Amino acid sequence: MQGTKVVRPFPFFRAGARASQPQLSKPILTLEDVYKFFRPDQPTLRGVNLSVERGEFAFITGPSGAGKSTLLKLIYRELTVDEGRVLFCGRDIGRLTDKSIPFLRRNLGIVFQDFRIIDHWTVYENVAVALEILSMPQRLVRSRVAEALERVGLAGRGVERTSNLSGGEKQRVAVARAIVPEPALILADEPTGNLDPHLAIDILTLFEEINSTGTTVLFATHDHSLISKRDHRLISIDEGRVIEAQKGLKQWPGSGIHTLVG
């Protein structure tokens, strides 16, 4: 469209609605024989192979220090692999230049344990920032933010300062900020770690609702009680390797379970 400002989709990934038909039929994420070393003698991840299809919901688990955050950081390119490849929409993200990393992240929504929202901003400002950095026109920002706030149960709360919100509400703001650019993949790193058990379930349910509209979700948690309430695919990191069950704990092989999921 000539004359109007076009918000460009990422030129390489096209991960969301704009993905082409051949892309849509491929896994959204593939890890091929991935190694990550923080110490030369002891890899944190050793030979991890993983394939995630579009639209999946998967837990990533393992005790504290197992490498859950490391795995996610390799996907959003906070870290790079030492060996192997991470393919997002078929592209090797380990080979992206620093300049291309923001384009990758436009296709990812990331939610952290500590919310990472700006306390002296309003709810609206905290969510809108994710679109403003894409130079989206204000009119469109307003309607998209309103829609995202509605999806997370905060309709009409945009004017409030986030410092006045409860922990559960703050995490909802963070989820709204993550989903508002309509990313194809959401990465959540212990998103319920700072919340009471009943709020943890609410936030888990929120991610499930987001997943039900087609967004792929990877949800890292060491919280055994949360995982046991659902039968999502379970990806467990154990001594740097990945062990999986397609139906969560319900399908977990044998009695080794407690050592595996802490």
Chain positions contacting ligand ADP, by CB under 6 A: 38, 44, 62, 64-70
211/180 Cα distance (integer angstroms): 14
Compute the least distance from the CB of residue 46 to ligand ADP, in Å: 12
Asked whether the beta carbons of 261 and 236 are under 8 A apart, the reply is yes
Instruction: Please report how close the Cβ of residue 32 comes to Mg ion at its closest, in angstroms.
Output: 23
For residues 166 and 203, the answer to whether their CB atoms sit within 8 Å is no
Q: Which of 61, 69, 215, 216 binds Mg ion (CB under 5 A)?
A: 69
Residue 64 touches which member of ligand ADP, Mg ion, none, C-beta under 5-8 Å by kind: ligand ADP
Q: How far apart are CA 260 and CA 24, in angstroms?
A: 33
Binding partner selected for residue 62 from Mg ion, ligand ADP, none, CB under the kind-specific 5 to 8 Å limit: ligand ADP
Q: What is the DSSP string of 200-221?
A: HHHHHHHHHHHHHTT-EEEEE-
Are 223 and 215 in contact, with CB atoms under 8 Å apart?
A: no
Buried b (16+ CB within 10 A) or exposed e, 19-32: beeebeeebbbbbb
Shortest spacing between CB 38 and ligand ADP, in angstroms = 3
For Mg ion, which is the closer residue by CB, 61 or 162? 61
Report the C-alpha gap between 180 and 123 in whole angstroms. Answer: 13
Distances (CA, A) of 223 to 61, 103, 193, 195: 8, 32, 8, 11
> Would you count residue 192 as binding Mg ion (CB under 5 A)?
no
Out of Mg ion, ligand ADP, none, which partner does residue 61 contact, by CB within 5 to 8 A per kind? none
Of the pair 153, 193, the CB lying nearest Mg ion is at 193
Q: Looking at 67-75, 76-84, 91-99, 168-176, which segment touches Mg ion (CB under 5 A)?
A: 67-75
Please say which residue, 69 or 216, places its beta carbon nearer to ligand ADP. 69
Q: Which stretch binds Mg ion (CB under 5 A): 11-19, 62-70, 85-93, 207-215?
A: 62-70
Residue 161 is given by DSSP the state B
Per DSSP, the three-state class of 85 is strand
Min separation Cβ 64 and ligand ADP, Å: 4
| Nearer CB in complex with ligand ADP: 39/120 | 39
Question: From CA 171, how far away is CA 192, in angstroms rounded?
Answer: 8
Query: Which residue number, 50 or 165, has a Cβ lying nearer to ligand ADP?
Result: 50
Provide the 3-class DSSP secondary structure of residue 249. helix
Contact partner at residue 38 from ligand ADP, Mg ion, none, CB < 5 to 8 Å by partner kind: ligand ADP
Two structure tokens written together for 21: 């038909």
Number of residues in contact with Mg ion under rule CB under 5 A = 2
Q: Which residues bind Mg ion (CB under 5 A)?
A: 68-69
